[in-house]
Amino acid sequence: MKLALKSLAILLILFVLATTGEADKKRPVPETSPQPGWQQLDKGLELGIFPAPVAAAGGDSLVRVLRIDPKYYQLKLLNASRNENGEPLTPKQWCQQNGLAAAINPSMYQADYKTSVSLMRTKVHTNNPRLSKDMTILAFDRQDAGVPRVKLIDRQCEDFQSWKQKYGTLIQSIRMISCTGKNVWKPQARRWSTSAIGVDDQDKVLFIHVRALYSTYDLINILKILPLNISRAMYTEGGPQAQLYINSGNQELELTGSYETNSNEANEGSISWPLPNVLGISKR
């Protein structure tokens, strides 16, 4: 009888262990978020993927940043308007056709699907000569070795008329972070995907893409919290047009945007839109 009871107890224990194991198999495994930090893609080129400290209304709540050292990579502004029959291309197509390692929106564009909303020019082509009221201008192709290779000029605290003589390429867009580190946007209810361009405290260039839906005000506060050492930034696009493509040779990443909250359009962000203008990078 004791032997029978002992055998029964052993069988019961085995049954409990077996059923517990099956339950563990069925229990969903929580998703893990990427660890904050930078991954080196090449000398002078790093990719950072950071979980935002505030969850987004839609999207993956990740901030992706390509950090570029202008000593090793040069910026290039490409415009469909430079050629008479120039056509908009996806960022990937711009990169493939021009030998670029990455490309992002340089600014928003007008209804003609070619012209930037404000000042945009290189040494050889002017896409838009008009200087608008926007306060930030990205400047590169320096004409003077005594100035930074890349500079985000803030018209509120710097003399643009003086600085513009020192650079061959100028791209004007909407300021996000001022020369004093201030968030210059106001709180808002509307949210969308965003592309932006910034510089850090070591004059490295930041190509920023956020697929998740945030208001620009909230996103700026997030960028200031993350370990980017960001000093200035400008907004370049929102919604599905906000894009970033990267191909470092050993890693390829194609990032697209999404429609804003309260939009009547489907919240689809998997299709890359053709862009009339891109800001790209290539090795020096």
**Distance from C-alpha of 37 to C-alpha of 47, rounded to nearest angstrom:** 8
Per-residue model confidence (pLDDT) at position 141: 98
Around Cβ 209, how many Cβ atoms within 10 Å?
Answer: 26
Please name which of 32, 57, 34, 37 lies closest in space to residue 47, comparing C-alpha atoms: 37
Per-residue model confidence (pLDDT) at position 118: 98
Per-residue model confidence (pLDDT) at position 271: 85
Q: Which residues contact 191 (CB under 8 A, 6 or more apart)?
A: 56, 57, 58, 213, 214, 215, 218, 260, 261
Q: Which residues contact 46 (CB under 8 A, 6 or more apart)?
A: 38, 39, 40, 66, 67
Per-residue model confidence (pLDDT) at position 256: 95
Per-residue model confidence (pLDDT) at position 35: 54
**Distance from C-alpha of 44 to C-alpha of 150, rounded to nearest angstrom:** 14
Averaged over successive runs of 10 residues, the pLDDT of the chain (284 residues) comes to: 36 37 34 65 97 88 97 98 93 98 98 97 98 98 96 97 97 97 96 97 97 97 97 97 95 91 53 96 96
What is the per-residue pLDDT across 133-145, written as a single tens digit (0 to 9) for each?
999 999 999 999 9
Which amino acid appears at position 46 of this protein?
Answer: E
Per-residue model confidence (pLDDT) at position 264: 46
